Amino acid sequence: MSFLIDSSIMITSQILFFGFGWLFFMRQLFKDYEIRQYVVQVIFSVTFAFSCTMFELIIFEILGVLNSSSRYFHWKMNLCVILLILVFMVPFYIGYFIVSNIRLLHKQRLLFSCLLWLTFMYFFWKLGDPFPILSPKHGILSIEQLISRVGVIGVTLMALLSGFGAVNCPYTYMSYFLRNVTDTDILALERRLLQTMDMIISKKKRMAMARRTMFQKGEVHNKPSGFWGMIKSVTTSAPGSESILCLSA
């Protein structure tokens, strides 16, 4: 009796997730497209529903909701359905859609779709050769063989997409955090630059006049020589040199 109740809860949640995936596909993803492919909508909604159901089962496992045998049964069933969709149904339909758009192959599209799917399955299976995936305990088309290859492809794609997003997102949304520079700001900075240049020129003129005054008074040529004169020039300074230091500050 508890298994029937648990199954009814899971079926109800799957129906709700399917409806939400259908609405999301219609209202957000392809709201501006006039061509409607109902097979694509069904595949997307079914994949979305079973993916959300697996996430729901993980939450139920943590919280201890439903019976453990029921959770295991529905987990294995959802996993088999998702693998069937990802490995068999989606690649075959993509190949069928590609062949259908080629006029020369339109009459034998089913045959060429099967050939494309077999080619995909060959490379999909050869992908697991460099990895320690093969095991004599599991069969060729077992869940372990399929989920391991799907995991390798999924982790690789997620790494590529996350790296691209980490670079593209700041480049795209950086303009939202930048301050808009107006013509008034540019004119104000130009005025400040001109004022700074005038101040530098006036200080250079005053320093040149101070050096000329020191030269006329003989403060430059009448410096003491020798070791004691060097020490005296370091410890004491002339009034004119202090004025030059003040102007350069």
Tell me, what's the pLDDT at 139? Answer: 60
The per-residue DSSP string of 126-179 comes to HTTTTTTT--TTS-TT-HHHHHHHHHHHHHHHHHHHHHHHHHHHHHHHGGGGSP
Residue ranges per structural domain of the chain: 1-130, 143-198
Over the chain, what is the mean pLDDT?
A: 79
Confidence check: pLDDT of 193 > 90:
yes
Please tell me which residue, 220 or 2, carries the higher pLDDT value.
Answer: 2
Confidence check: pLDDT of 231 > 50:
yes
pLDDT digits (tens, 9 = 90+) for 36-85: 677 888 888 899 999 999 999 999 889 888 888 888 888 888 888 888 88
Tell me, what's the pLDDT at 220? Answer: 46
Angstrom distance (rounded) from CA 243 to CA 211: 10
Q: Work out the average pLDDT over 210-230.
A: 63
